[in-house]
Amino acid sequence: MRQFTSKQDFCDWLNEFSHPNLIEGWANQPSIVTVSASGVFGIVLPFAAKSLQATLQKWITAQHEKKQVAPFDFDISIAPKALETVVTNSVNGVKNIIAVTSAKGGVGKSTTAVNLALAISQSGAKVGLLDADIYGPSVPMMIGEVDAKPEVRDNKWMQPITSHGIHTHSIGYLVSKDEAAIWRGPMASKALAQLLNETEWPELDYLVIDMPPGTGDIQLTLSQQIPVTGALIVTTPQDLALADARKGAAMFEKVDVPVIGMVENMSYHICSHCGEKEHIFGAGGAEKLAGEYGLALLAQVPLHISMREDIDKGTPTVVARPDSEHSQTYLQLAETVCSRMYWHGKAKPEAISFTMVE
């Protein structure tokens, strides 16, 4: 029976636990393992990882029951770290920003952004969602907050609308749902900057931004002036969508914003009567494109009528049908996105607090 003689001894043993969202030697990373004065081993997962937390808990308990190790007290917690970005200015209260983007409209980008934000929240993090599609905001309808209006503090600070456990903001809350936003590029970019910086966000581990489709002014403003931690590219298997996705990947590459990976939406259709799968938009396209750019294909989300019904009711699938195949896909995607950002990024140094002594 193994008995731990030091923190390093414990870390060496803990590294025997492997998981798709962990790297080799993960327990040796700074701040992940701590030992209290009373001898309790603390394991701090530095990204949203509720499923991983449960799996690790079971593994350690099983090692105890098999008498592989001497009994010890331990605690596993989730505390997402803020990661460094190319743009050095920060957004008040926000640790990390994830841009969900597509160079082409109609590929399910907003559906992906909303369900991803909800899934990250369910994975143990504090999450916000910013609808940056100035010309066609859809988030208010998708989360059932079409008539919501944000309160304003001190004539400046807009209060986010909280729905399904996440904090949201959208130009759709500020204009009539029947009114079109007719703005030139610079005006739209300025509006996005105001939405982001003049919203009084609570302390957030992740802010998911639902980007407008394309590679124009707003996308450049976001990537060059806002501290984006990573971008997620959404596409479909269709050749036309893949051609535009190439442009999106190339744009982020040019402005040094890390691309976390790709999501293939509408990968196949699931018949609501017989359950048969049919690749109506083609197959294998996103996988090939990901290979071209050295990116990971993180999820393939099927097309099903229930997804549309959930969104129309204002209760996205992750909330409406938590045990469904779609929800499980988004939950897995959430932890994959957050873990990949952490392992491929660099954690910001912890702030040092000073106490004045008279």
- Annotated binding residues for ATP, written as ranges, equal 103-110
Backbone φ and ψ of 72, nearest 5°: -150, 155
How far out from the chain centre does Cα 306 lie? 23
What is the rounded distance in angstroms from the CA atom of residue 112 to the CA atom of residue 116? 6
The gap between the terminal CA atoms of the chain, to the nearest Å, is 52
- The C-alpha torsion from 242 through 243 and 244 to 250, rounded to 10°, is 100
What is the rounded distance in angstroms from the CA atom of residue 189 to the CA atom of residue 195? 10
What is the rounded distance in angstroms from the CA atom of residue 281 to the CA atom of residue 152? 45
What the block records as the tokens of 99 is 């841009």
What is the rounded distance in angstroms from the CA atom of residue 320 to the CA atom of residue 306? 10
What is the rounded distance in angstroms from the CA atom of residue 166 to the CA atom of residue 133? 18
Q: Compute CA distances 103 → 63, 65, 99, 233, whole Å.
A: 48, 52, 12, 8
Q: Which residues are annotated as a binding site?
A: 103-110
What is the rounded distance in angstroms from the CA atom of residue 59 to the CA atom of residue 49? 15
Phi-psi region of 117 (alpha: psi -120 to 50; beta: other; left: phi over 0): alpha
178 contacts: CB under 8 Å, gap ≥ 6? none
User: What sections of the chain are H helices per DSSP?
Assistant: 7-14, 50-65, 109-122, 139-142, 185-197, 217-225, 239-254, 285-293, 305-312, 317-320, 325-344
CA torsion sign for 209, 215, 220, 223 is positive
357 contacts: CB under 8 Å, gap ≥ 6? none
Q: Compute CA distances 245 → 102, 289, 302, whole Å.
A: 6, 8, 19
